[in-house]
Amino acid sequence: MRGPGVLGALGALALGAQGARAVEEQPGGAHGGGHGFQVVTFKWHHVQDPYIIALWILVASVAKIGFHLSRRVTSVVPESALLIVLGLVLGGIVWAADHIASFSLTPTVFFFYLLPPIVLDAGYFMPNRLFFGNLGSILLYAVVGTVWNAATTGLSLYGVFLSGLMGDLNTGLLDFLLFGSLIAAVDPVAVLAVFEEVHVNEVLFIIVFGESLLNDAVTVVLYNVFESFVTLGGDNVTGVDCVKGIVSFFVVSLGGALVGVAFAFLLSLVTRFTKHVRTIEPGFVFVLSYLSYLTSEMLSLSAILAITFCGICCQKYVKANISEQSATTVRYTMKMLASGAETIIFMFLGISAVDPLIWKWNTAFVLLTLVFISVYRALGVVLQTWVLNRYRMVALEPIDQVVMSYGGLRGAVAFALVVLLDENKVKEKNLFVSTTIIVIYFTVIFQGLTIKPLVQWLKVKRSEHREPKLNEKLHGRAFDHILSAIEDISGQIGHNYLRDKWSNFDRRFLSKVLMRRSAQKSRDRILNVFHELNLKDAISYVAEGERRGSLAFIRSPSTDNMVNVDFSTPRPSTVEASVSYLLRENMSAVRLDMQSLEQRRHSIRDMEDMVTHHTLQQYLYKPRQEYKHLYSRHELTPNEDERQDREVFQRTMRKRLDSFKSAKLGLGHGATRLHRRERARRRNSSIPNGKLPLERPPSFTIPEKALELLEPEEAADDDAVSGGIEFLAAVTQDTATESPAGCDNPGFEPEEPGFLSRVPPWLSPGETVVPSQRARLQIPCSPGNVHRLAPFRLSTRSTDSFQPDDSTQGQAPARPEATHIAAPGAEATQVILDRMRL
């Protein structure tokens, strides 16, 4: 993998460390004494380069630990700013020690080793749907915006220069334009570091994120064009050259993107066949995407675009192909590399500044640059947004525009580019370097510090400050959920036609080529949303929750294996034991909890109020917009969110399942229809029908099915996932309709009998015959994998500690009041199970 690669390669960092080498000349012989054979030798030179690199990485990492010791500091000051300051301090120390700026961020290191992991990470974790949904706006900001920034800044500076305000500088128009182009781009590293902490809405996030990624490519192209113009000399630039420059812009960027896509294709294809080399599976992701970067660099195309698009395009197939562990490895490694690279970049931005040789001050130039980049950024954003809002379905509001303008941070890309300048051609290189450093510091530190308060202030201004009442809190949250549900129902924003076409093409051709067969199966539409969620877990949880009547196991991951074991072997006795046992255990746990709460509650009433508010505040499920972090360089697994999704998913599915079961149990008419289905399934099933218990009434279909489900698990994980979901889908699909009775889960069901009798729960009769969408799309997929979920039925069926009682139909059983919220599952199971035994 890349780990060692990065380390070794960072050796280049130390190449700038000539000074240190000289200082460390003396040791070795000192204690070794004389000559002859030496038991121990001190070989500093032998390890010097990697050693220094490792030390720097260590310093940066330890510093990160230090920053996060105090939450108060990191919540106010962005980490990037802290790192820069740290770098300044360290640089100062090093300089004080040997009066030579030994270490600096060299463009080679930056472009070859530090930038790729960051950009790859951004691409690989890009929320594709949003990205492509807003591609138009992103491109406009990235291309037109950057060109606008470069041109206006360069020209304005040149104008001021002509007025003589800057004194005597050895520059021309092209130098200013060159400078404008390198200072124009908003930096993805800096922007993300700050935006992650400011919670903005998803559209704004993706626009700024996408813009900062793509505009680097624009900057690099502009930079190259102007640099070659400067090399040619201002007088020799002809109209043809200008046209060539424009053409080269398109060639470079589109070419880069194409190289990325090609490598993504290759990568997806390769991961399709790595089943037997699991250990190096993650390596392919890194090596191939890095190769895409190098290849396009070699072809002098835009390397950033190449690796970005490589990440964007491969993510879907790679994630589907590689094993779960490999996916986790990729995720963690990528985050580690990106986060590490970012840390090093910011630190070295600080260190690099401590070098008197590069500093050349020109107050007018520096100040005017700051003013111009801010003003033109704002102006550009407002103008472009005005154009965009005429076409966008969701307009960008003024507050968004403020955040976008103010979030235009400059970063390491600008620095690396300015250092790359050739002093012989650009006479005022040092002035440009100093100004760039000042601009970076100003934007990262000052704007980074103030953007959060600014956003908060702008938001707070809109809503008055008042402690909301309980009702407002609860209903407000409910409204959020309602709204996001309605959004989901009414469909995504725009581009539906293209997206449909694309997903059609993808399903018919691309996925067939690029995905393993097993992975293809799991690509049912319903799964799209859950790709982040560990579906298999969720489904096991549903089953397990049913079986044990508790969600307690959610907290003990070790039970995961048990779930699987239980699936293959029904063990009625343990099940029976565990239901009651768990209920009991659960209750005691609750009691414990309550006791501690009780103590608090006995105090004053205000206190109680506070507790209630606090509980609500803390445990109310968050609406989607708030909790879905789109992309985060540092947070690996949004545990909270996943858990919420899992819990809700579990409840929903259980409820649907329960309705299905009860509806089914309540009737005999649907049986013939179902039988047809059953038979079709059985034909493909490896389980002989002889196993069917004879005492079952023939029209009673569930046990049959449940038994059939007993088929031992032989398939891969992916199958389990798809199986579970398909099962759920199938379950809802062939649910019969007539019986309104039997909504027996008080936790998840409407329990007012009046309501129940008025609303027949499921589908229209005509629908039961229609195969599920999945069946239509992928008929050959074996119905055998339909089964993962079901065995719990079998296990619950054989409990016999409860009296069968048919008369409870349609009436919710009283629930034990103090039980855990998940307890209803157990009751439902029991009621169902009672009926099943009839």
Partner 1 sequence: MGSGSSHTATIPDLDDIRRETGFSQASLLRLYRRFRTLDQNKKGYLSRTDLEQIGALAVNPLGDRIIDSFFPDGNLKVDFAGFVRVLAHFRPIEEEDTGNQDPKEPEPLNSRMNKLRFAFQLYDLDRDGKISRQEMLQVLRLMVGVQVTEEQLESITDRTVQEADEDGDGAVSFHEFAKSLEKMNIEQKMSIRILK
Residues of this chain, 539-578, that bind partner 1 according to CB under 8 A: 551, 554
Taking CB under 8 A as the criterion, the residue among 144, 533, 687, 775 binding partner 1 is: 533
What region, left, alpha or beta, does residue 148 occupy, with left being phi > 0 and alpha being psi -120 to 50 degrees? alpha
d(CA 104, CA 420): 13
- Cα gap 107→189, rounded to integer Å: 16
Told to check if 478 binds partner 1 by CB under 8 A, we report yes
Query: Does 620 contact partner 1 by CB under 8 A?
Result: yes
Burial of 218 (0-12, 13-18, 19+ CB in 10 A): buried
Name the nearest CA neighbour of 575 among 835, 830, 836, 790: 830
Least distance in angstroms from the C-beta of 559 to partner 1: 15
Determine whether 60 is exposed, middle or buried from the number of CB atoms within 10 Å of its CB (0-12, 13-18, 19+).
buried
* Region of 244-252, 325-333, 412-420, 646-654 interacting with partner 1 (CB under 8 A): 646-654
Using the CB atoms, write b or e for 20-56: b if 16+ within 10 Å. beeeeeeeeeeeeeeeeeeeeeeeeeeebbeebbeeb
Complex with partner 1: residue 155 or 493, whichever CB lies closer: 493
Exactly one of 31, 35, 276, 466 binds partner 1 (CB under 8 A); that residue is 466
DSSP result, 168-188: -----HHHHHHHHHHHHSPPH
Does 456 participate in binding partner 1 (rule CB under 8 A)? no
Give residues 747-776 in contact with partner 1 (rule: CB under 8 A): 747-748, 750-752, 754-755, 758-764, 766-767, 770, 773
Least gap, CB of 626 to partner 1 (angstroms): 13
CB 122 within 8 A of CB 188: yes
User: Two tokens at 389?
Assistant: 């809002």
Distance, CA of 251 to CA of 264 (rounded, Å): 19
Q: Using CB under 8 A, which residues numbered 130 to 149 contact partner 1? A: none
The residue within the footprint of partner 1, chosen from 47, 482, 604, 680 (CB under 8 A), is 482
- Please check whether residue 508 is in contact with residue 616, taking contact to mean a CB–CB distance below 8 angstroms: no
Kindly indicate which of the ranges 141-149, 183-191, 377-385, 521-529 contains the residues binding partner 1, using the contact rule CB under 8 A: 521-529
Span interacting with partner 1, options 33-41, 403-411, 586-594, 801-809, rule CB under 8 A: 586-594
The binding track of 382-421 with respect to partner 1, each residue x by CB under 8 A or -, is -----------xxx--------------------------
Positions 815 through 834 that interact with partner 1 (CB under 8 A)? 817-823
Options 2, 656, 682, 835; binder of partner 1; rule CB under 8 A:
656
* Sole binder of partner 1 in the list 332, 479, 502, 802 (CB under 8 A): 479
From the list 764, 755, 761, 754, the residue with the least C-alpha distance to 740 is 761
294 near partner 1 (CB under 8 A): no
Q: Which two tokens stand for residue 684?
A: 């493909």
Beta carbon of residue 437, minimum distance to partner 1 (angstroms, whole number): 42
| CB within 8 Å of 767: residues ≥ 6 apart | 733
CB 775 to partner 1: min, Å: 11
Total residues in contact with partner 1, by rule CB under 8 A: 95
User: For partner 1, which stretch binds (CB under 8 A), given 43-51, 79-87, 335-343, 467-475?
Assistant: 467-475
Our CB check for partner 1 shows the closer of 463 and 803 to be: 463
Choice between 532 and 714, CB closer to partner 1: 532
CB 747 within 8 A of CB 653: no
699 contributes a contact to partner 1 by CB under 8 A: no
Among 22, 73, 648, 838, binds partner 1 (CB under 8 A): 648
Closest CB to partner 1 among residues 99, 525: 525
> Pick from 460, 594, 607, 610: which binds partner 1 (CB under 8 A)?
594
CA distance 268 to 274: 10
Give, for 74, the enclosing helix (H) or strand (E). Answer: helix 71-76
**Sequence-separated (6 or more) residues with CB below 8 Å from residue 64:** 79, 83, 343
Q: Which stretch binds partner 1 (CB under 8 A): 234-242, 311-319, 476-484, 567-575?
A: 476-484
Angle between helices 717-733 and 639-665 (to 10 degrees): 40
